Amino acid sequence: MKKCSVITAVYNSNKTLPRFLLALGGQTERDFELIICDDGSSEDCLPLINEYQKYFQNKIKYVRHERNGIRKTMTLNRGVLASETGYLLFIDPDCLADEDWVKIHLEEREKGCYLIGRRVGYREQMAPYITAEFITSNKYSKVNLFNIYHAMAGHIKYIEQFLKIKNTLLRKILHHKKSTYLMGCNFSCWKEDMFKVNGWDNDFHGLGREDVELDGRLKKSGLKPKSVKFLTRVFHIYHAQRKNDEWEDYYNKAAGNSGFEAKNGLREIL
């Protein structure tokens, strides 16, 4: 049986998908299933998936629903339902996974906890350098003169995330309390815990804050966030900010739910 499921939601992501797949296909831990969840793209990403399948030990799964506005949370729930393992990792398709990303999430998983990670941000000036060779050689994830130069030039955000610290005590000293929240581009949990909270909230339309809302319900359910900051990270590829005027209304409505189960979640699309 595969060790875990990696789930990502895409929408017209053909520009970033090859780089995403190259990084994920170069993981040190290879025994995982990748589930690509399509929120009704007008682009056909299946040829790309088939092209990059050779980098993966297990067959890539593809699930899709028809476009009806931005329904990222629902498409992620479809990925959860399609998964065949007991442990789930979530990442965005505009991110490059560190080469040990899957391995660290598996090593650090713990009953009663969900894992939260952080990201390095590549600004627009970095776009010409993010090539296939840049990814397959793992230059993107190393503390080297190239990355130090671009960080000092302001082309890389959150440069401190390049640090990898194995010492638990030192990581706790350096870890700021404010970074103990969930980011949807780098977190993992037990599948049974996603069913406990009834998954992502399908009523959450648009982009933004759906991860904050899920974080609140996971905590309400009694689960504890456990950080993998300074152990592994993802690298976010620059794109123009996508404006969403709807998220605040959906977030406030969802946050008003006194319970920890989504009223419209996994069970409602079974």
**Which CATH number covers residue 60?**
3.90.550.10
Question: Residue 258 has what pLDDT?
Answer: 67
* Residue bearing the bigger pLDDT, 51 or 180: 51
Domain count, the chain: 1
Structural domain for 214, as ranges: 4-269
Residue 54, C-beta contacts closer than 8 angstroms, at least 6 positions apart: none
Measured distance between the N- and C-terminal CA atoms of the chain, rounded to whole angstroms: 23
The label of the residue with tokens 């797949």 reads 21
* Residue bearing the bigger pLDDT, 5 or 242: 5
Over residues 168-176, mean pLDDT? 73
Q: Cα separation of 36 and 255, whole Å?
A: 28
Residues 240, 115, 219, 258, CA torsion sign: positive
Q: Are 122 and 155 in contact (CB under 8 A)?
A: yes
Per-residue tokens: 189: 């949990």
Question: Residue 218 has what pLDDT?
Answer: 97
Q: Please state, for a pLDDT cut of 70, what percent of the chain lies above it.
A: 91
Question: Residue 249 has what pLDDT?
Answer: 60
Residue 160, C-beta contacts closer than 8 angstroms, at least 6 positions apart: none
pLDDT beyond 60 at 254: no
